[in-house]
A and B are shown apart, each in its own frame.
Chain A
Amino acid sequence: MAENTKKSSPATILAAWLVVCIPLAWGVYNTLLSSMKLFAAVPSGF
Chain B
Amino acid sequence: MPLLSFLDRQRSVAHPGYSRWLVPPAALAIHLAIGQVYSFSVFKIPLTELIGITKPGPDDWAQSQVAWIFSLAIVMLGLSAALFGKWLETAGPRKAMFVSACCFGLGFVIAYFGAVSHQLWLLYFGYGVVGGVGLGLGYISPVSTLIKWFPDRPGLATGMAIMGFGGGAMIGSPLAIKLMAHFRTPTDVGVGKTFLVMGALYLCFMMLGVFMIRVPRDDWKPEHWAAPVKLQALITTHDVDVSTAMKTPQFYLLWIILCVNVTAGIGILEQASPMIQDLFKGMIGPVAAGGFVGLLSLFNMGGRFFWSTTSDFIGRKPTYFIFLALGAALYVFLPRTGGDHMNSVKLFVAVACVLLSMYGGGFATIPAYLRDLFGSHNVSAIHGRLLTAWSTAGVLGPVLVNDMREYQLAHGVDKAGAYQTVMHIMAGLLVVGFIANVLVKPVDPKYWLPDSVPRNESGSLH
Taking Cβ atoms with an 8 Å cutoff, the residues of A that contact B are 3-8, 12-13, 16-17, 19-20, 23-24, 26-28, 30-32, 34-43, 46
Contacts and interface: CB of A to CB of B under 8 A. Distances in A.
Given A4-B15, A41-B283, A16 B167 contact: no
A42 B345 CA distance: 7
Interface string B11-51: 00001111101100110110010000000000000000000
28 contacts: A3-B16, A6-B15, A6-B17, A12-B22, A13-B21, A13-B22, A19-B25, A20-B25, A20-B29, A20-B32, A23-B32, A26-B171, A27-B173, A28-B167, A30-B170, A31-B170, A32-B298, A35-B291, A35-B294, A37-B287, A37-B291, A38-B284, A38-B291, A38-B349, A39-B291, A40-B288, A41-B288, A42-B345
A17 B19 CA distance: 13
A26 B301 CA distance: 14
B171 A23 contact: yes
The interface centre, meaning the residue of A6, A17, A19, A32 with most chain B CB atoms within 10 A of its CB, is A19
The interface centre, meaning the residue of A7, A26, A37 with most chain B CB atoms within 10 A of its CB, is A37
Given A16-B22, A38-B349, A41-B285, A7 B291 contact: no
Contacts of A35: 291-292, 294-295, 298
Interface of B: 15-19, 21-22, 25-26, 28-29, 32, 164, 167, 169-174, 205, 208, 212, 280, 283-285, 287-292, 294-295, 297-298, 301, 343-346, 349
A31 to B, nearest CB: 5
Contacts of A40: 288, 291
Contact of A42 (B18, B171, B288): B288
B415 to A, nearest CB: 19
B46 to A, nearest CB: 19
Contacts of A26: 171, 174
Contacts of B292: 35, 38
A16 B25 contact: yes
The interface centre, meaning the residue of A7, A20, A42, A43 with most chain B CB atoms within 10 A of its CB, is A20
A44 to B, nearest CB: 10
B170 A28 contact: yes
A5 B220 CA distance: 13
